[in-house]
Structures are given as structure tokens and as C-alpha cells.
């Protein structure tokens, strides 16, 4: 293979270098494609999101392990048994992990940090929670094991998303 073929635009079968307009007819297609799709969150996650819209946290209980799984799942990943019942949780919990980020969701540097981490819910086992934002707390005050509670969006603004919870704040006594 010659150096010119290895580095640089490809040669066409006649040995002439291909130009952008030559490649356009090969690699570029202009068309209006009528795409129709539907996405289902599944039985457990759909119910979880609906309950969030109503300001409630719900999980599923495994009869064999006696664990309450949050977010809910239709089977237990520990013992592979189907979960058997829905369980409402108080929504309160504790900080399991957290991170102080000086980079926003668009990878821009910021002066005020974003606090994110995992919340383990009261009534569910450790390491079985959700990742979310923390608010009304400084990076210096945020600690693993800190009791927290959700701050919900107003009911009319909720859409059935984990972001229906604005953030978790230190629990008020």
C-alpha cells in the first residue's frame, strides 16, 4: 500500500482522489423517516414513577429475603425470586454516598457546587436506594449517615419523574 493511500483521502477505483461531493452520494442520505416508537418503564418502575407524582415512595418486598427493594423490581436480584407486595415508605432516609461537584451537567465549571449522592430509605435495607441531589446543606455539613427528607415539587408541577423530588435536605427534627 502506498503512502498516499494509507494517509489521506481514499482513492476511487480509477485512482483519482475522492472529494467530499463524491462521498456525499455514497454516505449521505436525505429522507424523512416516519419513526413511531413507544417505551415502557415496566410494571414496577411505572408504579414507582406514578407514586412519585403523588408524592410517595414505594418499593417491592421479597418474601424470601424480606428485603424492600427501592426502586421497586419485580424480582429480587439477590435470590432471583419474584417480589410479592408493594410497600409504602416514609420517604425519609440517610445519605449513603455523596459527591461535591464543581462541574455542572453540561461539563461547565461552576462556583457553587452541586451536591449529589445516594439516599438509602428508612424501611429498606442499606445499599437499596436512589441517587439524587442534596439541598439546604453546605458541602462541609453533608455527611454519610446524615438523616434526610425529600423536598417535593408542588403537586401541579409533578410529572412522574424522579425529579418530582427537587432534592433531599437534612431531616428536620
List of the chain residues with pLDDT < 50 = 1, 4
The answer to whether 147 and 94 have CB atoms below 8 angstroms apart is yes
Q: Tell me, what's the pLDDT at 44?
A: 95
Q: Tell me, what's the pLDDT at 23?
A: 63
- Give dist(CA 126, CA 117) in Å, integer: 14
Q: Tell me, what's the pLDDT at 172?
A: 86
Q: Which residues pair with 121 in a beta bridge?
A: 93
Strands (E), 48-91: 57-62, 68-69, 83-89
Q: Tell me, what's the pLDDT at 26?
A: 60
3-class DSSP assignment, residue 5: helix
How many angstroms separate the Cα of 153 from the Cα of each of 6, 72, 161?
A: 58, 22, 11
Amino acid at each position: 500500500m502506498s503512502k498516499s493511500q494509507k494517509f489521506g483521502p481514499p482513492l476511487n477505483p480509477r485512482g483519482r482522489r475522492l472529494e467530499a461531493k463524491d462521498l456525499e452520494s455514497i454516505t449521505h442520505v436525505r429522507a424523512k423517516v416516519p419513526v413511531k416508537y413507544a417505551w415502557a418503564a415496566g410494571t414496577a418502575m411505572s408504579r414507582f414513577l406514578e407514586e412519585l407524582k403523588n408524592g410517595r415512595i414505594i418499593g417491592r418486598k421479597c418474601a424470601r429475603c424480606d428485603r424492600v427493594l427501592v426502586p421497586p423490581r419485580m424480582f429480587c436480584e439477590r435470590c432471583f425470586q419474584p417480589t410479592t407486595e408493594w410497600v409504602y415508605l416514609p420517604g425519609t432516609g440517610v445519605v449513603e454516598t455523596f459527591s461535591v461537584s464543581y462541574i455542572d451537567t453540561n461539563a461547565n465549571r461552576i462556583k457553587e457546587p452541586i451536591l449529589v449522592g445516594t439516599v438509602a430509605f428508612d424501611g429498606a435495607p442499606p445499599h437499596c436506594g436512589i441517587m439524587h441531589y442534596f439541598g439546604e446543606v453546605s458541602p462541609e455539613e453533608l455527611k454519610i449517615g446524615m438523616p434526610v427528607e425529600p423536598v417535593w415539587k408542588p403537586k401541579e408541577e409533578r410529572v412522574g419523574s424522579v425529579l418530582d423530588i427537587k432534592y433531599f435536605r437534612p431531616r428536620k427534627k
